[in-house]
Amino acid sequence: MEPVSKDVLRRWVEAWNAHDVDAARALLAPEFVRHDANLPDVVGPQAAGEFIAAAVAAFPDLHFDLEQLVAEDDEVADRLTARGTHRGEFVGVPASGRTVTFQTMETFRVSGGRLAEQWVVSDLLGMMQQLGALPPTAA
Protein backbone atom coordinates (compact mmCIF):
# COMPACT_ATOMS: atom_id res chain seq x y z
CA MET A 1 0.00 0.00 0.00
CA GLU A 2 1.28 3.45 -0.92
CA PRO A 3 1.86 5.88 1.98
CA VAL A 4 -0.99 8.32 2.58
CA SER A 5 1.56 11.15 2.55
CA LYS A 6 2.20 10.60 -1.18
CA ASP A 7 -1.50 11.02 -1.87
CA VAL A 8 -1.62 14.24 0.16
CA LEU A 9 1.37 15.62 -1.71
CA ARG A 10 -0.09 14.72 -5.11
CA ARG A 11 -3.28 16.58 -4.14
CA TRP A 12 -1.13 19.54 -2.99
CA VAL A 13 0.57 19.74 -6.41
CA GLU A 14 -2.80 19.35 -8.16
CA ALA A 15 -4.26 22.21 -6.09
CA TRP A 16 -1.31 24.45 -7.03
CA ASN A 17 -1.68 23.52 -10.71
CA ALA A 18 -5.42 24.26 -10.57
CA HIS A 19 -4.62 27.53 -8.74
CA ASP A 20 -7.18 26.35 -6.16
CA VAL A 21 -6.14 28.17 -2.99
CA ASP A 22 -9.00 26.70 -0.93
CA ALA A 23 -8.11 23.13 -1.91
CA ALA A 24 -4.46 23.75 -1.04
CA ARG A 25 -5.33 25.31 2.34
CA ALA A 26 -7.58 22.35 3.15
CA LEU A 27 -4.53 20.07 2.96
CA LEU A 28 -2.65 22.05 5.61
CA ALA A 29 -2.57 21.38 9.35
CA PRO A 30 -3.47 24.37 11.56
CA GLU A 31 0.16 24.59 12.71
CA PHE A 32 1.55 24.57 9.14
CA VAL A 33 4.88 26.35 8.57
CA ARG A 34 6.64 26.79 5.22
CA HIS A 35 10.41 27.18 5.50
CA ASP A 36 12.12 28.44 2.35
CA ALA A 37 15.86 28.88 1.85
CA ASN A 38 15.15 32.08 -0.12
CA LEU A 39 12.13 33.66 1.59
CA PRO A 40 10.75 34.33 5.07
CA ASP A 41 8.75 31.56 6.77
CA VAL A 42 5.04 31.36 6.00
CA VAL A 43 3.06 30.45 9.13
CA GLY A 44 -0.46 29.03 9.07
CA PRO A 45 -2.90 27.97 6.36
CA GLN A 46 -4.22 31.52 5.86
CA ALA A 47 -0.75 32.92 5.18
CA ALA A 48 0.03 29.93 2.95
CA GLY A 49 -3.11 30.67 0.92
CA GLU A 50 -2.01 34.28 0.54
CA PHE A 51 1.42 33.09 -0.62
CA ILE A 52 -0.14 30.77 -3.21
CA ALA A 53 -2.48 33.53 -4.43
CA ALA A 54 0.47 35.93 -4.82
CA ALA A 55 2.51 33.31 -6.71
CA VAL A 56 -0.26 32.55 -9.19
CA ALA A 57 -1.02 36.27 -9.58
CA ALA A 58 2.62 36.79 -10.57
CA PHE A 59 2.66 33.67 -12.79
CA PRO A 60 -0.95 33.08 -13.96
CA ASP A 61 0.03 30.02 -15.98
CA LEU A 62 2.22 28.54 -13.22
CA HIS A 63 2.46 24.76 -13.50
CA PHE A 64 4.47 22.15 -11.63
CA ASP A 65 5.54 18.82 -13.12
CA LEU A 66 6.04 16.23 -10.40
CA GLU A 67 9.36 14.62 -11.34
CA GLN A 68 10.01 12.55 -8.21
CA LEU A 69 8.09 11.60 -5.08
CA VAL A 70 9.37 9.63 -2.09
CA ALA A 71 7.92 9.00 1.36
CA GLU A 72 9.00 7.42 4.59
CA ASP A 73 7.13 7.43 7.89
CA ASP A 74 5.66 10.94 8.34
CA GLU A 75 7.85 12.63 5.73
CA VAL A 76 7.36 13.02 2.00
CA ALA A 77 9.62 14.73 -0.52
CA ASP A 78 9.28 15.80 -4.12
CA ARG A 79 11.29 17.23 -6.96
CA LEU A 80 9.37 19.55 -9.25
CA THR A 81 9.94 21.42 -12.48
CA ALA A 82 8.06 24.72 -12.43
CA ARG A 83 7.11 26.75 -15.48
CA GLY A 84 5.29 30.04 -15.77
CA THR A 85 5.08 33.43 -17.42
CA HIS A 86 5.90 36.43 -15.25
CA ARG A 87 2.81 38.65 -15.55
CA GLY A 88 2.80 40.33 -12.13
CA GLU A 89 5.18 41.52 -9.40
CA PHE A 90 7.11 38.73 -7.68
CA VAL A 91 9.42 39.32 -4.68
CA GLY A 92 9.87 42.93 -5.74
CA VAL A 93 10.51 42.19 -9.42
CA PRO A 94 7.96 43.90 -11.70
CA ALA A 95 6.25 41.84 -14.41
CA SER A 96 8.66 41.06 -17.24
CA GLY A 97 6.50 38.92 -19.55
CA ARG A 98 9.30 36.36 -19.57
CA THR A 99 8.75 32.63 -19.22
CA VAL A 100 10.75 30.80 -16.58
CA THR A 101 11.56 27.16 -15.93
CA PHE A 102 13.20 26.17 -12.65
CA GLN A 103 13.64 23.26 -10.27
CA THR A 104 12.24 23.01 -6.74
CA MET A 105 12.70 20.38 -4.08
CA GLU A 106 10.37 20.16 -1.09
CA THR A 107 10.23 18.01 2.02
CA PHE A 108 7.09 17.84 4.12
CA ARG A 109 6.17 16.52 7.53
CA VAL A 110 2.67 15.05 7.52
CA SER A 111 0.52 14.99 10.65
CA GLY A 112 -3.03 13.67 10.83
CA GLY A 113 -3.19 13.33 7.05
CA ARG A 114 -2.30 17.00 6.51
CA LEU A 115 0.86 18.87 5.62
CA ALA A 116 2.25 20.28 8.87
CA GLU A 117 5.66 21.55 7.85
CA GLN A 118 7.40 22.24 4.55
CA TRP A 119 11.03 22.87 3.64
CA VAL A 120 11.64 24.33 0.18
CA VAL A 121 14.83 24.70 -1.85
CA SER A 122 14.27 26.38 -5.24
CA ASP A 123 16.60 27.65 -7.91
CA LEU A 124 15.63 31.25 -7.23
CA LEU A 125 18.95 32.48 -8.66
CA GLY A 126 18.18 30.80 -11.99
CA MET A 127 14.64 32.14 -11.91
CA MET A 128 15.82 35.71 -11.25
CA GLN A 129 18.34 35.41 -14.09
CA GLN A 130 15.58 34.22 -16.43
CA LEU A 131 13.45 37.20 -15.35
CA GLY A 132 16.31 39.56 -16.17
CA ALA A 133 16.49 40.71 -12.53
CA LEU A 134 20.06 39.40 -12.18
CA PRO A 135 22.84 39.00 -14.74
CA PRO A 136 23.60 35.50 -16.00
CA THR A 137 26.34 33.60 -14.22
CA ALA A 138 29.67 33.71 -16.07
CA ALA A 139 30.67 30.41 -17.67
Q: What is the CATH number of the domain that holds 80?
A: 3.10.450.50
Please indicate, yes or no, if residue 101 is contained in any of the structural domains.
yes
Beta pairing class for 99-111 and 114-122: antiparallel
Residue pair 5/108 in contact by the 8 Å Cβ criterion: yes
Please indicate, yes or no, if residue 137 is contained in any of the structural domains.
no
Please indicate, yes or no, if residue 15 is contained in any of the structural domains.
yes
What predicted TM-score, i.e. pTM, was given to this entire model? 0.92
Range of the domain at 91: 4-131
Please indicate, yes or no, if residue 139 is contained in any of the structural domains.
no
Q: How many domains does the chain have?
A: 1
Please indicate, yes or no, if residue 24 is contained in any of the structural domains.
yes
Please indicate, yes or no, if residue 109 is contained in any of the structural domains.
yes
Please indicate, yes or no, if residue 21 is contained in any of the structural domains.
yes
Please indicate, yes or no, if residue 136 is contained in any of the structural domains.
no
Q: What pLDDT tens digit does each residue of the chain (139 aa) get?
A: 456 789 999 999 999 999 999 999 999 999 999 999 889 999 999 999 999 999 999 999 999 999 999 999 999 999 999 999 999 999 999 999 999 999 999 999 999 999 999 999 999 999 999 999 999 887 6
